[in-house]
A and B are shown apart, each in its own frame.
Chain A
Amino acid sequence: METTAEKKYTYKDFESDQEVRWCPGCDDYVILRSMQKALPEMGVNKEDVVFISGIGCSSRFPYYMDTFGMHGIHGRAPAIATGVKLAKNDLSVWVITGDGDSMAIGGNHFIHVLRRNIDLNIVLFNNEIYGLTKGQFSPTSLVGQKTKSSPYGNTQPPFSPGELALGAHARFFARIGGNTPKEMTEIFVQSEKFSGTSLIEVLQNCPIFNDGAFSEFTDRKVREDRQLFVKHGEPMIFGKERDKGLVLNGLKLEVVTIGENGVTEEDILVHDAGEADPTLHQMLVRSTYPLVTGIIRKFEDVTFEERENKQREEVKLNSKFKKTKDLFFAGDVYEVT
Chain B
Amino acid sequence: MDVVEKNRAAEKLEAVVIRFAGDSGDGMQLTGTQFSDTSAMFGNDIATFPNYPAEIRAPQGSLYGVSGYQVHIGSVEISTPGDEVDLLVAMNPAGLKTNLHAVKPGHTIIVDTDAFTKKNLEKAQYDSNPLEDGILANYRVIEVEMTSLTKAALKDIEGLDNKSITRTKNMFALGMVYWMYNRSTDHTIKFFQNKFKNRPEIIEANTKVLNTGFYFAETLELIPNAYTVSPAKMNPGTYRIIMGNRATAWGFLAAAEKSGLELFLGSYPITPASDILHELSKHGHFGVKTFQAEDEIAGISSAIGAAFAGDLAITTTSGPGLALKGEALGLATMIELPLVVVNVQRGGPSTGLPTKTEQSDLLQALYGRNGESPVIVIAASTPANCFNYAYEAAKLTLEHMTPVVLLTDGYIANGSAPWKILSVDDMPEIKNNIYESNGDTWHPYDRNEDTLARRWPVPGTPGMEHRVGGLEKDRVTGNVSYVPENHEYMTKVRAEKIKRVQNYIPDLKTEFAETGDLLVVGWGGTYGSLHSAVKYMHEEGYSNVGYAHFNYINPLPKNTEDVLKRYKKIVVCELNNGQFAKVLKINFNDFEFTQFNKIQGLPFGNGELMEKFKQLIK
Please give me the residue from chain A that is nearest to B423 by CB atom: A325
Residues of A within 8 A of B479 (CB): 18, 63
Binary contact readout B236-250 vs A (1 if CB under 8 angstroms, 0 otherwise): 111111000000001
A324 pairs with B264, CB closer than 8 A: no
Cβ of A315 within 8 Å of any chain B Cβ, yes or no, is: yes
Listed stretches A29-37, A43-51, A187-195, A197-205; interface member: A43-51
0 or 1 for each of A75-95: is its CB under 8 Å from B? (1 = yes): 010111111111110110000
Query: Smallest CB-CB separation from B254: which chain A residue?
Result: A324
Q: Is A333's CB under 8 angstroms from B308's CB? A: no
Checking A50, A63, A70 against B480 with a beta-carbon cut-off of 8 angstroms, the contacting residue is: A63
Q: Considering the chains assembled together, what is the distance between the CA atoms of A78 and B266 in angstroms?
A: 13
Residues of A within 8 A of B298 (CB): 76, 78-79, 82, 108-109, 112
Q: Which residue of B lies closest to A304 (CB)?
A: B291
Chain A residue with Cβ nearest B387: A328
Given A73-B328, A76-B328, A80-B301, also A324-B460 (CB < 8 A): no
Main secondary structure of the interface of A (DSSP, over half): mixed
Which of chain A's residues have a CB closer than 8 A to the CB of B462? Answer: 45-47
- By beta carbon, the residue of chain A nearest B311 is A87
Within 8 A of B (CB), among A69-126: 69-73, 76, 78-88, 90-91, 108-109, 112
Quick check: B309 and A47 within 8 Å, CB to CB?
Answer: no
Encoded as 1 (CB less than 8 Å from any A CB) or 0, chain B from 543 to 585 comes to: 0000000000000000000000000000000000000000000
B608 at the A interface (CB under 8 A): no
Is B417 an interface position by the 8 A CB rule?
no
- Is residue B57 within 8 Å, beta carbon to beta carbon, of the partner chain? no
The smallest C-beta distance from A102 to any residue of chain B, in angstroms, reads 13
Q: Are B460 and A88 in contact (CB-based, < 8 A)?
A: yes
Q: For residues 290 through 328 of chain B, which have their beta carbon under 8 Å from a beta carbon of chain A?
A: 291, 293-295, 297-298, 301-311, 313, 327-328
A70 touches B308 (CB 8 A): yes
Is there a chain A Cβ closer than 8 Å to B352's Cβ? no
Q: How far is the CB of B369 from chain A (nearest CB, A)?
A: 12
Q: Which residues of A contact B203 (CB under 8 A)?
A: none
Q: Contact between A91 and B266 (Cβ–Cβ < 8 Å)?
A: no
Q: A63-B469, A73-B328 are in contact. Are A68 and B240 (CB under 8 A)?
A: no
For chain A residues 267-326, which have a beta carbon within 8 Å of chain B? 308, 311-312, 315-316, 319, 321-325
Q: Is B471 located at the chain interface by the 8 A CB criterion?
A: yes
Kindly list chain B residues whose C-beta atoms are within 8 Å of the C-beta of A109. Answer: 294, 297-298, 301
How far is A63 from B307 in the complex, measured between Cα atoms in Å?
Answer: 19
> In the complex, A87→B262 CA distance in Å?
8
Residues of A near B424 (CB, < 8 A) are: 323-325
Contact A47 B284 (CB under 8 A): no
Contact status B421-A329, CB under 8 Å: yes
**Interface contact B240-A331, CB-CB below 8 Å:** yes
Q: Which of B238-275 contact A (CB under 8 A)?
A: 238-241, 250, 253-254, 257, 262, 264, 266
Q: Is the pair B309, A84 in contact by a Cβ cutoff of 8 Å?
A: yes
Residues of B contacting A: mostly: mixed
What is the 8 Å Cβ interface bit string for chain B, positions 320-348, against chain A (1 contact, 0 not)? 00000001101100010000000000000
Residue A160 lies at the interface, judged by CB distance under 8 Å to chain B: no
Complex contact B284–A87 (CB within 8 A)? no
A335 within 8 A of B: yes
Partner of B469, one of A62, A65, A108: A62
Given contacts A71-B468, A79-B297, A328-B423, contact A47 B463 (CB under 8 A): yes
B467 at the interface (CB under 8 A from A): yes
Residues of chain B contacted by A79 (CB below 8 angstroms): 266, 293-294, 297-298, 301-302, 305
Cα distance A83–B464 in the bound complex, in angstroms: 19
A82 with B302: CB separation less than 8 A: yes
Contact flags B339-375 to A (C-beta < 8 A → 1, else 0)? 0000000000000000000000000000000000000
- Produce 1/0 per residue, B458-502, CB < 8 A to A: 111111111111110000000110000000000000000000000
Instruction: Report how many residues on chain B are interfacial, defined by Cβ distance under 8 Å.
Output: 70
A16 at the interface (CB under 8 A from B): yes
Query: A18-B479, A331-B138 are known contacts. Are A112 and B294 too (CB-CB below 8 A)?
Result: yes
Q: Is the CB of B459 within 8 A of A68?
A: yes
At the interface, yes or no: B59 with Cβ under 8 Å from chain A?
Answer: no
Least Cβ–Cβ distance between A93 and chain B, in angstroms = 9
Chain B positions 441-471 with a Cβ under 8 Å from a chain A Cβ: 458-471
Residue in A closest to B139 when the chains form the complex, CB atoms: A332
- Among A52, A66, A332, A334: residue with most chain B CB under 10 A: A332
A337: Cβ under 8 A from any B Cβ:
yes
CB 8 Å contact bits of B414-441 with A (1 = contact, 0 = none): 0000001111110000000000000000
A71 and B470 form a contact (CB under 8 A): yes
CA distance A108 to B330 in the complex (A): 21
A327 within 8 A of B: yes
B302 touches A91 (CB 8 A): no
* A70 engages B467 (CB within 8 Å): yes
Does A145 belong to the interface (CB within 8 Å)?
no
Across-interface contacts of A69 in B (CB, < 8 A): 466-469
> Given that A62-B469, A73-B327, A321-B286 are contacting pairs, would A91 and B301 also be in contact in the complex, using a CB cutoff of 8 Å?
no
- Cβ-defined partner of A71 (8 Å) among B291, B297, B469: B469
Give the residues in chain B near A324, CB-CB below 8 Å. Answer: 250, 253-254, 257, 286, 423-424
How far is it, in angstroms, between the C-alpha of A79 and the C-alpha of B264 when the chains are bound?
13
> Given the known A-B contacts A66-B465, A67-B465, are A315 and B284 also in contact in the complex, defined by CB atoms under 8 Å?
yes
**Do residues A108 and B294 form an inter-chain contact, with CB atoms below 8 A?**
yes
Contact call A72/B266, Cβ cutoff below 8 A: no
A336 within 8 A of B: yes
Interchain CB contact under 8 A, A47 and B460: yes
Task: Check if B469 sits within 8 Å of A72, measured CB to CB.
Answer: yes
Query: A residues within 8 A CB of B194?
Result: none
| Alpha-carbon distance between A332 and B420 when the two chains are bound, in angstroms | 13
Tell yes or no: B235 within 8 A of A by CB.
yes
Least CB distance, B324 to chain A, in whole angstroms: 11
Known: A47-B463, A48-B459, A68-B466. A86 touches B306 (CB 8 A): yes
CB-CB under 8 A from B266, the residues of chain A are 79, 83
Residues 117 to 138 of chain A near chain B (Cβ within 8 Å)? none
Q: Chain A residues with Cβ under 8 A from B65's Cβ?
A: none
Supposing A321-B285, A324-B286, A324-B424 touch, asked if A47 and B465 sit within 8 A by C-beta, the answer is yes
Q: How far is the CB of A157 from the nearest CB of chain B, in Å? A: 24
Contacts of B297 in A (CB 8 A): 76, 79, 109
Nearest CB in chain A: distance from B247 CB, A:
10
- Given the complex, which residues of A lie within 8 Å of B289, measured CB to CB? 86-87, 308, 312
Whether B383 sits at the interface, judged by CB under 8 Å, is no
Question: Across the interface, do B327 and A315 meet the contact criterion of CB distance under 8 Å?
Answer: no
- Once the chains bind, are A62 and B467 in contact (CB under 8 Å)? yes
Question: B331–A336 contact, CB under 8 A?
Answer: no
Which residues of chain A are near B464, meaning CB under 8 Å? 47, 68
Using Cβ atoms and an 8 Å threshold, which residues of chain B touch A333?
238-240, 421
Name the one of A49, A65, A331 contacting B137, with C-beta atoms under 8 angstroms: A331
- Shortest distance between the CB of B303 and any CB in chain A (Å): 6
Tell whether B506 is near chain A: CB-to-CB under 8 Å.
no
User: Contact between A336 and B471 (Cβ–Cβ < 8 Å)?
Assistant: no
Whether, in the assembled complex, B53 has its beta carbon less than 8 Å from a beta carbon of chain A, the answer is no
Q: What are 29 A-B contacts defined by CB distance under 8 Å?
A: A47-B460, A50-B459, A63-B469, A68-B308, A68-B465, A71-B470, A78-B298, A79-B293, A79-B298, A80-B305, A82-B298, A83-B264, A83-B307, A87-B305, A87-B309, A88-B459, A88-B460, A108-B295, A312-B284, A316-B284, A319-B284, A323-B257, A324-B250, A325-B423, A325-B425, A327-B283, A329-B423, A334-B238, A335-B236
Task: Give 3 closest A-B pairs by Cβ, nearest first.
Answer: A83-B305, A71-B469, A83-B302
Chain A residues proximal to chain B, CB less than 8 Å: 16, 18, 45-50, 52, 55, 62-63, 65-73, 76, 78-88, 90-91, 108-109, 112, 308, 311-312, 315-316, 319, 321-325, 327-337
B interface residues, Cβ below 8 angstroms from A? 105, 134, 137-138, 234-241, 250, 253-254, 257, 262, 264, 266, 283-287, 289, 291, 293-295, 297-298, 301-311, 313, 327-328, 330-331, 335, 420-425, 458-471, 479-480
